[in-house]
Every structure is written in structure tokens, then in C-alpha cells.
Amino acid sequence: MRRRHMSTVLATAVVTSTALAALVSPAVAQGKPAPTSVSVTQFGTSDGTAVVSGQNEPGTRFHVKGTQAKASKTLEIDYQVQQTGYWCGPAATRIALSARINPPSQGDLAAQLGTHEGGTDHISQVTGVLNSNLGTGWYETKEMPNDPPTQGQKDLLWRDIVLDIDNNYPLVTNIVAPPGNQPPGYPSDQTIYHYFSVIGYDDANRTVLIADPANFGGNQIYWLSFDQLASLIPPKGYAA
């Protein structure tokens, strides 16, 4: 997660000491075990529905069980809040890998991704690290340069979400969330440059399940409308 007070992209991240402290985990630092598993079936799939919100200290881990129904599917993952103010890329990559393997630590993934204090530079770095750790060529980098996205780009995004989730591959998306168009809990006066993972979809409600390592306002796992997700990705991209 990277915060900006201006619409232009700067070379380094602007993260206040207060914000950074909120992301550092006393539980992780002390080596505490992950909390009990969370079942998505206990919650609805409408836009804005929080599966996990404010129930865990920042930085702690918990297990999310997968579900499958006629028009929806969510994946089993190991969730962890990002451990620094600029490790959203490593944390989102770790969440995606956890659906298939025992993932490396955020620190190891930060090294693999070339993440620095300004964050992870491009979604293609995530694509490469996902494929390298899985030993496959499944993931591809998909660019969404148009803002708003074209209908073709939106159709491809939905197709990729359904195809990947059905095959047990979470997506990692690089988003830009300005004031007025933000997921729940985001600081409303700032533009946030961020990575998070898509771990499920509901075709009936046209929503997607987000595993968000930033933990803004305690919002960790939540449903987001597909249209809003599509509006957040440009001019960046995603790994699917």
C-alpha cells in the first residue's frame, strides 16, 4: 500500500509513522500462531459485506476456508496483513500463493519482487514471482491502461476472475484508489496505490471477494462490486 496526497505518482512512498505503526504486528513479532479459520459461508456476498472486519490485530494471520455454490466460488487461503507500509505487493503475492502452496514469508517475497520503500514497481514482477514459486506458467500480466476501462477490458477481467478462481488461482491486482472511489475503510482524503488479491466471485451479485493486506479500518476480507474493481485497476494491471 502506498499513499499519495497528490494525483501524480512520486518516486517514493509517503507513509506516516502512525500509519506504519498500524501495520506492524505485535503478534507476528512475538511469533503467535494464526487464529481460528474463518468460514465465508457465514456471510453474504453483496457489495460491502465484510467477511472479516476488525476482528484481528494488524499483522496477525488467519485461515479463510473456501466455498463453492452454483454461481459462486471462494478459495481457501492463508491471510496476513502486510508487515510494512510498502509490502502490499509481497503480502498480496503471499496470499495468492497460499491457495496452492505453503508460501514464502513476506520478507522473502519482497526480496524476490525487488520491493523497496516506494513499493513494488510493476505488476509484471508479481506475475514472474507467482510463476517462479509455483513452477508453472499460469499467470500472465494483463494491462488496463484505459480509465475508465473499455468494455472489452472489463469482459476480459471478469473472464479471468472466473477462470482463475475456478482453477484455484487467486488474482493479484494493482489498484489506484482516489478519494470518491475507494474500498471500505480507505483514508478518504488520499489516493492509495496498492496491491490486493481477488480470492472469489459471485456471479449472481456480480461481486468479487477481496483479501486486502492493508487492513484499512480493520477491513481484511470483504466483497466488492465487480464494476468498482474494474474502475480501480486502471491505469495499472493485474496478474491472472
CA distance to 82, 180, 214, 238, per residue, from 172 (Å): 14, 23, 14, 6
The pTM score is 0.84
Is residue 190 a contact partner of residue 5, using CB atoms and an 8 Å limit? Answer: yes
* Alpha-carbon gap, residue 64 to 56, rounded angstroms: 13
- Kindly give the confidence (pLDDT) of every residue in the chain, 240 residues in length, as a single tens digit, with 9 standing for 90 and above: 544 333 323 222 223 223 333 333 333 333 444 456 777 766 778 888 888 776 555 556 788 888 888 889 999 999 999 999 999 999 999 999 999 999 999 999 999 999 999 999 999 999 999 999 999 999 999 999 999 999 999 999 999 999 999 999 999 999 999 999 999 999 999 999 999 999 999 999 999 999 999 989 889 999 999 999 999 999 999 999
Is residue 221 a contact partner of residue 42, using CB atoms and an 8 Å limit? Answer: no
Q: How far, rounded to the nearest angstrom, does the alpha carbon of residue 116 sit from its chain's CA centroid? A: 18
Is residue 43 a contact partner of residue 11, using CB atoms and an 8 Å limit? Answer: no
Residue extents of the structural domains in the chain: 2-7+14-239
* Alpha-carbon gap, residue 176 to 148, rounded angstroms: 12
CATH level 2 (architecture), domain 2-7+14-239: Alpha-Beta Complex (3.90)
Degrees (nearest 5) of the Cα angle 52, 53, 57? Answer: 100
